[in-house]
């Protein structure tokens, strides 16, 4: 993938077991590390014991201000340093220690996901290191564990509680190489085993700034201590998928398309242990490249996803493309596919009105993944098909 055309990034979808009621203070190992003025909300109204963690970009952020996202960010050279291999070896890890995460499925369009070069570590490692570092920079959550505690094959991730959390967070934010220094100082290693490959989203070629974003899923038993990077984020939210969908529909919060799609997908799970087991096993099958193709239609913006009957057969991912304009509405274009007994897999973004909608019909996701929920959960508990 042309590095000039794409900015590679990695994010972590953190799924937590919900154990408290809405708006109560979450249980953590070190309460004095919780940032004041941030109140994660919990809900069990959908009979799910899963909560998802997301953060909101500040209103002054240059990229997607005010949008709720999963913690993560751009890859840095420090994330691919061979010094990480030396760190693991210093604690007794050899190549076979990573067998469970290095031999599974990869990402379709990233051949270097498994391969290592003389100057870099393999992609499956550097992307996880990037996701863990960026999550620590943005939220203060350090997904690491002491070497003696690493048990391969477990679907849950671990975290380390730091005595000088904000000081280390500032150092790593200023210099990504300090993440390695942090691990040396604390005597821990990034919990690569706790991150499960989940999905890969590419910004449409109709946008001039493009991101190649890899999403990992990490399951935690409890909410770790956190400290928001106030220079980029202004809120940390921890809510059920159904609550997040409800708030997005009422425009209380806003999601970019990939995050909204993944929240809908995760809303199909109701049990935290079941999600953890599924994510761990499914990751072995890899994931596809999901790049929406955008079209301007009569009532908004249409994003056609891979698998949809109208998704183009050949796409030049490197070249900027102008918007195709259609004189039909969302409904007319949908009905056209239905009349042809085709497959619907798309996102509709109304010009004026509610949030985006994910439309699926006859769609079977590849790589043993699950489709997003076809139900929206509105504030009055009424349900309407997506």
User: Which residues have a Cβ under 8 Å from the Cβ of 35 and sit 6 or more positions away?
Assistant: 140, 226, 227, 228, 236
Considering the domain 7-18+48-284 in this protein, what is its CATH number? 3.90.79.10
Per-residue pLDDT of 300-349, as tens digits, reads: 999 999 999 999 998 888 788 888 999 999 999 999 999 999 999 999 99
37 vs 151, more confident:
151
Domain ranges for the chain? 7-18+48-284, 293-361
Q: What percent of the chain has pLDDT over 70?
A: 85
Token pair, residue 22, equals 């809405």
pTM above 0.75, yes or no: yes
Q: What mean pLDDT do residues 284-296 have?
A: 95
Q: Please, which pLDDT band fits residue 43 given cuts at 50, 70 and 90?
A: very low
Residues 113/106, Cβ–Cβ less than 8 Å = yes
Per-residue pLDDT of 184-218, as tens digits, reads: 999 999 999 999 999 999 999 888 788 999 999 99
State yes or no: pLDDT of 72 exceeds 90: yes
- What is the rounded distance in angstroms from the CA atom of residue 275 to the CA atom of residue 196? 11
| Averaged confidence pLDDT in the chain | 85
User: Which residues have a Cβ under 8 Å from the Cβ of 266 and sit 6 or more positions away?
Assistant: 13, 15, 50, 52, 241, 275
Phi, psi of 88 (to 5 degrees): -65, -40
State yes or no: pLDDT of 353 exceeds 80: no
Q: What mean pLDDT do residues 227-250 have?
A: 91
């Amino acid at each position: 993938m042309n590095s000039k055309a794409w900015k590679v990034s990695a994010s972590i979808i953190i799924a937590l077991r919900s154990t408290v009621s809405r708006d109560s203070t979450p249980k953590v190992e070190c309460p004095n590390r919780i940032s004041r003025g941030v109140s994660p909300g919990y809900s069990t109204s959908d009979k799910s014991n899963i909560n998802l963690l997301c953060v909101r970009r500040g209103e002054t952020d240059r990229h997607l201000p005010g949008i709720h996202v999963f913690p993560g960010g751009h890859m840095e050279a420090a994330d691919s340093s061979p010094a990480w291999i030396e760190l693991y070896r210093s604690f007794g890890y050899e190549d076979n220690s990573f067998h469970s995460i290095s031999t599974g499925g990869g990402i379709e369009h990233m051949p270097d996901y498994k391969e290592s070069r003389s100057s870099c570590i393999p992609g499956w490692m550097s992307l996880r290191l990037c996701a863990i570092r960026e999550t620590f920079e943005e939220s203060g959550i350090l997904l690491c564990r002491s070497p003696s505690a690493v048990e391969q094959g477990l679907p849950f991730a671990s975290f380390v509680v730091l005595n000088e959390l904000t000081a280390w967070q500032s150092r790593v934010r200023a210099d990504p190489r300090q993440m390695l220094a942090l691990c040396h100082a604390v005597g821990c290693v990034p919990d690569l085993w706790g991150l499960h490959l989940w999905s890969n989203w590419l910004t449409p070629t109709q946008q001039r700034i493009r991101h190649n974003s890899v999403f990992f899923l990490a399951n935690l038993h409890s909410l770790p201590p956190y400290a928001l990077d106030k220079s980029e984020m202004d809120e940390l939210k921890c809510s059920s998928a159904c609550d997040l969908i409800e708030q997005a529909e009422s425009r209380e919060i806003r999601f970019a398309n990939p995050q909204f799609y993944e929240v809908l997908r995760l809303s199909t799970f109701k049990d935290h242990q079941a999600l953890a087991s599924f994510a761990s096993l499914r990751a072995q099958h890899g994931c596809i490249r999901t790049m929406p193709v955008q079209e301007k239609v009569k009532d908004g913006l249409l994003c056609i996803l891979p698998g949809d009957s109208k998704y183009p057969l050949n796409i030049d991912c490197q070249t900027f493309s102008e918007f195709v304009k259609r004189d039909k509405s969302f409904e007319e274009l949908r009905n056209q596919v239905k009349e042809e007994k085709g497959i619907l897999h798309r996102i509709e973004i109304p010009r004026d009105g509610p949030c985006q909608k994910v439309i699926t019909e006859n769609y079977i996701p590849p790589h043993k993944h699950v489709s997003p929920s076809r139900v929206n959960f509105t504030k009055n508990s009424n349900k309407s098909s997506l």
